Copies of this chain bind each other. A is one copy, B any other.
Amino acid sequence: MPQPPPAEPGMREEEVDTPALLLDLDAFEHNLDTMAALLAPTGTKLRAHAKTHKSPVVALAQMRRGAVGQCVQKVAEAEALAWGGVPDILVSNEVVAPRKLARLAALSGIAKVAVCADDAAGIARIEEAAEAAGIRMTVLVEIDVGAGRCGVDPGPPAVALAERIASSPHLIFGGLQAYHGSAQHRRTKEERVAAIGFAAEGTRRTVEQLRQRGLACAIVGGAGTGTFALEAASGVWTEVQAGSYAFMDADYARNDDPPPFRQSLFVLAQVMSAPRAGVAVLDAGHKAVPTDSGLPLVHGFAGAVYAGASDEHGTLKGEGLPALGQKVRLVPGHCDPTVDRHDWYVGVRRGRVECVWPVAARGGMA
């Protein structure tokens, strides 16, 4: 059963129940405005990644500032967005389960949807689902531009799949998915420039080979918060898929030359035990603030270190620690899984709760 919201509009931040997912609305809006301003002169569009925020409210705020649509990683996310009024959704991932493809096809009555493929058998499954639903589904070919995860090689293997899509009666070839995930967190700018340069070369070559076969790429999508400026400047990508930029996290802040966004996402926690000098235990462990990209930081307590996470406890060590009962903001190590741990965003501005939004697509199902 869903958890009740930890706050109501009008409350002071100190009254919010913990642990809670806090969104600093001034910083959040700054981030959305900044991304729109940075992309405007490049001509590259934003298709923000909703795997980060999982919320049609956030999606529509991005689209009001010029985003052309949203990316998702899962059909359940596509459903939550479409049901919440988002009109243009790309599943930037492979979907091979017939039941999921049927659900995706069912959304095409209320939103423009597209999906990726990297295998002929996968394309056949999408064709079957589209035929059964009596629709034409747009399919992008995912190419591996250096991340070594999903995707076929650039060039001829990608062209072969594109031709297969184009020749399937219920499919439309929609372009290329060319995302270099692991480049986002490479620490030095030089490493990121090199990685995206490599990705651009393979992508450009593939686009050109497709063009020679008469196959136009309506979308060439990719990029994340760590590299989007490079993809946008390349002239190769038509859409960037940054998601974390709206919230930021401790991991992105560790990049040198970090992206120009403010930390807007926090987990509010309370000191529930202060048993010894130099130790304060918070009610937010790794179930509330996942540690896959490192431990969280403690906002506003310069001498405090979040030294260890167990299921429901976070142990602070250091000097000048918060006192028993005091509430503190944690900066998550990784924003995406942190959002997914909570049912509600608590939007705050100048110390007051201004809004409470559901994390509509939270959860494990694909």
B-contact bits for A277-290, CB 8 A (1 contact / 0 none): 00101010011101
| A204 is an interface residue with CB less than 8 A from chain B | no
With a CB–CB cut-off of 8 A, which chain B residues contact A287? Answer: 336-337, 340, 364
| A31 is an interface residue with CB less than 8 A from chain B | no
Given contacts A19-B366, A149-B315, contact A118 B3 (CB under 8 A): no
Query: Which of B20, B125, B272 contacts A96 (CB under 8 A)?
Result: B272
Cα-based distance from A28 to B79 in the complex (angstroms):
34
Query: Which of B148, B275, B343 contacts A119 (CB under 8 A)?
Result: B275
Cβ-defined contact, A73 with B312, below 8 A: yes
| CB-contacts of A1-59 with B (<8 A) | 1-4, 6, 17-21, 51
| A144 is an interface residue with CB less than 8 A from chain B | yes
| A127 is an interface residue with CB less than 8 A from chain B | no
Closest to A286 in B: B292
Closest to A271 in B: B96
With a CB–CB cut-off of 8 A, which chain B residues contact A343? Answer: 363-365
| CB-contacts of A277-329 with B (<8 A) | 279, 281, 283, 286-288, 290-292, 309-313, 315, 324-325
With a CB–CB cut-off of 8 A, which chain B residues contact A121? Answer: 324-325
Cα-based distance from A100 to B312 in the complex (angstroms):
15
Query: Which of B288, B360, B363 contacts A364 (CB under 8 A)?
Result: B288
| A95 is an interface residue with CB less than 8 A from chain B | yes
With a CB–CB cut-off of 8 A, which chain B residues contact A291? Answer: 292
Cβ-defined contact, A275 with B151, below 8 A: yes
Given contacts A324-B119, A363-B3, A366-B19, contact A152 B275 (CB under 8 A): yes
Closest to A366 in B: B283
| A273 is an interface residue with CB less than 8 A from chain B | yes
With a CB–CB cut-off of 8 A, which chain B residues contact A100? Answer: 17
| A122 is an interface residue with CB less than 8 A from chain B | yes
Interface size on A, residues (CB 8 A): 70
Cβ-defined contact, A324 with B96, below 8 A: yes
| A181 is an interface residue with CB less than 8 A from chain B | yes
| A274 is an interface residue with CB less than 8 A from chain B | yes
Most chain B CB within a 10 A radius of its CB, from A1, A309, A342 = A1
| A93 is an interface residue with CB less than 8 A from chain B | yes
Cα-based distance from A20 to B365 in the complex (angstroms):
7
Cα-based distance from A273 to B340 in the complex (angstroms):
24
Distance of A239 from chain B, by nearest CB (Å): 19
| A270 is an interface residue with CB less than 8 A from chain B | yes
With a CB–CB cut-off of 8 A, which chain B residues contact A80? Answer: 1
Cα-based distance from A273 to B311 in the complex (angstroms):
32
Cβ-defined contact, B360 with A119, below 8 A: no
Cβ-defined contact, A6 with B341, below 8 A: no
Cβ-defined contact, A310 with B181, below 8 A: yes
Q: A94-B272, A149-B281, A288-B364 are in contact. List 16 more A-B contacts (CB 8 A).
A: A1-B80, A1-B360, A21-B364, A51-B312, A74-B312, A97-B270, A118-B275, A122-B272, A122-B324, A149-B310, A150-B313, A152-B275, A286-B292, A290-B292, A341-B363, A342-B363
**Could you list 15 A-B pairs, sorted by A, with CB under 8 Å?**
A4-B365, A6-B365, A17-B100, A21-B364, A94-B281, A97-B272, A121-B325, A122-B273, A125-B325, A290-B290, A290-B292, A291-B292, A312-B366, A341-B363, A342-B363
Give the top 8 A-B pairs by smallest Cβ distance, nearest first.
A150-B273, A73-B312, A3-B363, A3-B365, A94-B272, A342-B364, A286-B292, A94-B273
